[in-house]
């Protein structure tokens, strides 16, 4: 199985900060990776697909990069509504696997 190691597991930041979250795959997954945002009591919402493509309707402060085994999600300038939990998901090979999640909290 492909393991997805996501870091950090939690992060405190302020409005306006630049934030980066990383996922490392235990083997190459091309660009078959998505990034998701989840708020309490809500279904996850996809932000990025194919590692670097911005989902329609998602603000441009979100960006994704990487290919192969190392991937990053960057939020260029944190807004109050961005405080949530973020997950990566690899869908290159079954079983698909999620990262452990990153809880982004207000400093």
Partner 1 sequence: QVQLVQSGAEVKKPGASVKVSCKASGYTFTSYDINWVRQATGQGLEWMGWMNPNSGNTAYAQKFQGRVTITRNTSISTSYMELSSLRSEDTAVYYCARVSGAYGPWGQGTLVTVSS
Binding residues for partner 1, rule: CB under 8 A, are: 1, 32, 34, 36, 38, 43-46, 49, 53, 55-56, 87, 89, 91, 94-98, 100-101
**Residue 37 or 66: which CB sits closer to partner 1?**
37
With beta carbons less than 8 A apart as the criterion, state whether 91 and 26 touch: no
**Residue 17 or 31: which CB sits closer to partner 1?**
31
Strand pairing category for 102-106 and 10-13: parallel
We find the least distance from the C-beta atom of residue 46 to partner 1, in angstroms, to be: 4
We find the least distance from the C-beta atom of residue 6 to partner 1, in angstroms, to be: 9
**Residue 32 or 82: which CB sits closer to partner 1?**
32
> Cα(24)–Cα(13) distance, rounded to whole angstroms?
22
> Cα(16)–Cα(1) distance, rounded to whole angstroms?
38
With beta carbons less than 8 A apart as the criterion, state whether 77 and 61 touch: yes
């Amino acid at each position: 199985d492909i393991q997805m190691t996501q870091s950090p597991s939690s992060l405190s930041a302020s409005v306006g900060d630049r934030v980066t979250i990383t996922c490392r795959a235990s083997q190459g997954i091309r660009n078959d990776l998505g990034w998701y945002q989840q708020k309490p009591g809500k279904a996850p919402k996809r932000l990025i697909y194919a590692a670097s493509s911005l989902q329609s309707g998602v603000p441009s402060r979100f960006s994704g990069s990487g290919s192969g085994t190392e991937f990053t999600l960057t939020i260029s300038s944190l807004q109050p509504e961005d405080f949530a939990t973020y997950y990566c998901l690899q869908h290159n090979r079954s079983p698909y696997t999620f990262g452990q999640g990153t809880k982004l909290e207000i400093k």
